[in-house]
Structure formats: structure tokens, C-alpha cells
Amino acid sequence: MNRTLLVTLSLLLCTSLYSQKVSISLFNDSNLNTILVTPTEGSYKLILGNSEIRLGVDQIVYLSRVGDSILVRDANSNLGTWSRVSIVGQTEEDAIRLKPILPSIPARVYSDNISIYVEFNRLMAINMIDREKYIASVVEAESGPNKDEEFYKAQSLIARTFALAHLEKHKGEGFNLCDGTHCQAYKGKMNFDKDIYKATVATKDLVIVDTTKQFITAAFHSNCGGFTANSQDVWLTPKSYLVSVEDRYCTGARNASWEVKIPLGKWKKFLQSKGVDTTAITDIKQYDFKPKERPVYYPIANQKIPTIQIRSNFKLRSAFFSVTAVKNIIRIDGRGYGHGVGLCQEGAMQMASRGWKYDKIINYYYKKVKIVNISEVDQTRSIDIIIEKKDSTVVQTEKK
Ligand SMILES: [Zn+2]
Ligand SMILES: [Zn+2]
């Protein structure tokens, strides 16, 4: 594909804050080479150059990369080789199944339109989708079915705030967001839970901003274990709205507690790698540690080891734990699941089931924030992107 055409396509695919459509790269982490495409609802047009072919439900189209082009075939015939294939929905309820054959990946179903072209020596499959349908799917992927509506509303605001703050994240590649954890998990329609879509539409255009009217980094995690974490204790940057709060709502939930046993020898070796002189520890009770609140450090032999480093090294579910040494075993009694910053999903679910409204939930976990219409967002300032790294933190600042 020539460069000019690619740039033109890129401009068409990248949408602005006010656009009702977003473009998402599908199976973005995979090196797609052959895909089977089948409409499952509504009706589609397959656009090849100047010709349009109607595609009904269950009709099959194969798309294979051949060099820089796409070989297109239906069940009966070869439809030629093209630089770009567009599959455009004709109703409000269109859905289409994409089944990657090479490599083989389980099929997913998507709403709205699909564009396919070759770039980076692979097929790119871009879903041009209504923004609210996309957000509802992200909420479903990140929080699962059968939750209360107010929880889904809170999670919709988080997904929308992230999406709109990062519309330019893949600008150079010609689309808005990818479908992996690099951006937000997006698995297509999944069950397309009607309650989730209702909650998303009920909060249409609402986002979360800080006191300077910029999008917040709407961090969330599964369970905080009773206390959320300060941003700067997990990452490098303090954020006025990502501060530790006590949470009594999640402590009875599924991910509230866990236990891991580590051989004492392994524990000692780790401490030595952090510069601790373990020969000075004469009584194994000196390893014990019973924090009442979320700890930032594990104190040992006059040293302080950041608990996030212990979490990372031993692949613990969280950095909130107590330590008990029993003979040759270190028992870790942990609380919560995830980094602990921002909204605690299991706490928020419990709040919603007790009748809390979404704005009260948002304001509980994010301090001094405002829920506003996107038209009120200050877009002239830079966006901070916080990336969680294994031991330390990298903070990238994107200048607009
Ligand atoms: Zn991405
Ligand atoms: Zn919690």
C-alpha cells in the first residue's frame, strides 16, 4: 500500500474526542495472516474497490495476506486481490464474527464495521465501532456479568475516561486504541449484557477529571484488601486523587485474602539480594511482620524492603500482607488482589449492591475529582500515562 493512501486511511480511522466512533485494532498482539469473516446479525456490504457485495448472515469470506495485498474468497469463488477490504454494516444491530485461521485463535464477535489492510507484514483488522458499544464491551471484559447497574456505571466512566484520554495512543499506527492490556481489554461483543449497555448509555459522555479539568488516570484493581494504595507507593508519581482510603466493603469478597508459603532459604536469599545481612537475624521471629494497614515497606534487620518488590519477586497477588516464620517456612497472609491503586472493584460492587450511586462510588475511591461532560475537559494540557513495571515504575508524559 502506498504511503499517501495509508496516511489518508489513518486520518479517517483516528477519531476525535467528540466523535461517536472509535477505531480499535483487533487481535493486535497476534501476527494475523488469514481470517475468516462471517456476519452473525444484521446485514453487511463487502466493499472491494468500487464494487459492493451484499453479505448476509452466515455467509463466509476468507481473507489471506499475500505480500502487501489481501486475497479475498467467498464459499464459491475467488474475489480477487485487494489492498483494502471494508465490511460495512447496514443496520443498527450488525454483528460480525472474526475467526483468525493463521494463527489459529478463538473467534470473537464484533459490532459495527471492520476494515482490513496489510501493514507491518500482517493483516490489520480495525473495528470502527460506536464508542458506547465499545465501552460496554470493555466494561464486560473487565468486570464480568451479573453486577449491579451502579457498579457498571462507575466502571463505564473509568473505561470512557481512559479511552478518551488515550485516543492518540496509536496515532502513528493509524487507529485509536488496541484491544490488548496495553490499552484496555476488549474482546468484542462477548455476551453483550443488556444491563451493561444500559449502564453505559445512561452515563453517555460523562468522564472523570481532576481539579484542573484534565482526565484522571482512572486506575482500578480487583480487591484492595481493606486499604487502597497511594499512587506514589506503587508507581513514581503522586496523584492528588490516587490516595489511600480505608475500604470496609471488600474485605468479605472473593479476592479478600490469600496465603502463600515460601521456604525460609528462598526468603533469605531474596533478602540478601536486597542487601540484608541475614546472619544478623538470630531468632526467626525477627522475620515476623503484622501491619494493621497496607504496608509500603517490610522492615527487617534495620532495613526497609518495598513490599511491591516482594510482590513482584514472589509473584504475590498483592503487596498487602503479613509475614509469619514457622520453622523453615515463611507464611505470607495476604489481603486483596492487584496493585491497590484507585477503585477497588469488589468494594465498589458491594457499595452498589447496598444502594450507593455511581458518583458516590467514584468519589469514594478518587479524591477531589469531578464527573463532567466531555465538553468540559481541558484538552490543552499534557496527559500522564502511568505504566506499572515489575519492580519500579516508568512514567511517560505525553505532550499534546
Ligand atoms: Zn494499545
Ligand atoms: Zn477494597
Strand partners, 129: 22
Number of the ligand closest to the Cα of 25: 1
How close is the Cα of 160 to the center of ligand 1, in Å? 15
Residue type, 128: M
Residues 328 and 271 in one domain: yes
Whether residue 399 has pLDDT greater than 70: no
CA 26 – ligand 1 centroid, Å:
10
The number of the ligand nearest the C-alpha atom of 181 reads 1
What's the pLDDT at 16?
67
Reported confidence tier of residue 19, pLDDT bands at 50, 70, 90: confident
Q: Looking at the structure, tell me whether residues 22 and 125 fall in a common domain.
A: yes
Look up the domain containing 266 and give its range: 257-335
The rounded Å distance from CA 222 to ligand 2 centre is: 8
Peptide bond into 103 cis (omega under 30): yes
Listed residues 316, 335, 354: the one ending a domain: 335
**Cα distance between residue 180 and residue 141, in whole Å:** 11
Quick: pLDDT tens for 112-167. 999 999 999 999 999 999 999 999 999 999 999 999 999 999 999 999 999 999 99
Is the distance from CB of 58 to CB of 38 less than 8 angstroms? yes
Nearest ligand to residue 250 Cα: 2
Cα of 170 from ligand 1 centre, angstroms: 7
For residue 139, being part of any structural domain is answered with no
**Together in a domain, 299 and 228:** no
Query: Residue 353 C-alpha to ligand 2 middle, in angstroms?
Result: 14
Is residue 391 within 8 Å of 308, Cβ to Cβ? yes
- Ligand 2 centroid from CA 244, angstroms: 11
How many C-beta atoms surround the C-beta of residue 351 within 10 A? Answer: 24
- Quote the DSSP letter at residue 349: H
Residue 308 falls within a domain, yes or no? yes
The residue assigned the cell 485487494 is: 82
Q: Quote the ligand 2 centre to 278 CA distance (angstroms).
A: 34
Q: Measure Cα distances from 49 to 8, 9, 56, 85 in Å.
A: 16, 14, 20, 8
Rounded to the nearest angstrom, the gap between the alpha carbon of residue 20 and the centroid of all alpha carbons in its chain is 20
Look at residue 385 and tell me if it is in a domain: yes
Residues 261 and 119 in one domain: no
- What pLDDT, in 10s, does the model give residues 77-97? 999 999 999 999 999 889 999
pTM over 0.85: yes
Count of the separate structural domains present in the chain = 3
Element (H, E) at 228: none
Residues 52 and 64 in one domain: yes
Instruction: Please tell me the distance from the alpha carbon of residue 133 to that of residue 56, in angstroms, as a whole number.
Output: 22
pLDDT tens digits, one per residue of 328-350: 999 999 999 999 999 999 999 99
**CB under 5 Å of ion ligand 2: residues:** 224, 247, 250, 344, 347
Ligand 2 centre from 154 Cα, in Å? Answer: 15
Length of the chain: 400
d(CA 390, CA 222): 18
Please check whether residues 116 and 25 belong to one and the same domain: yes
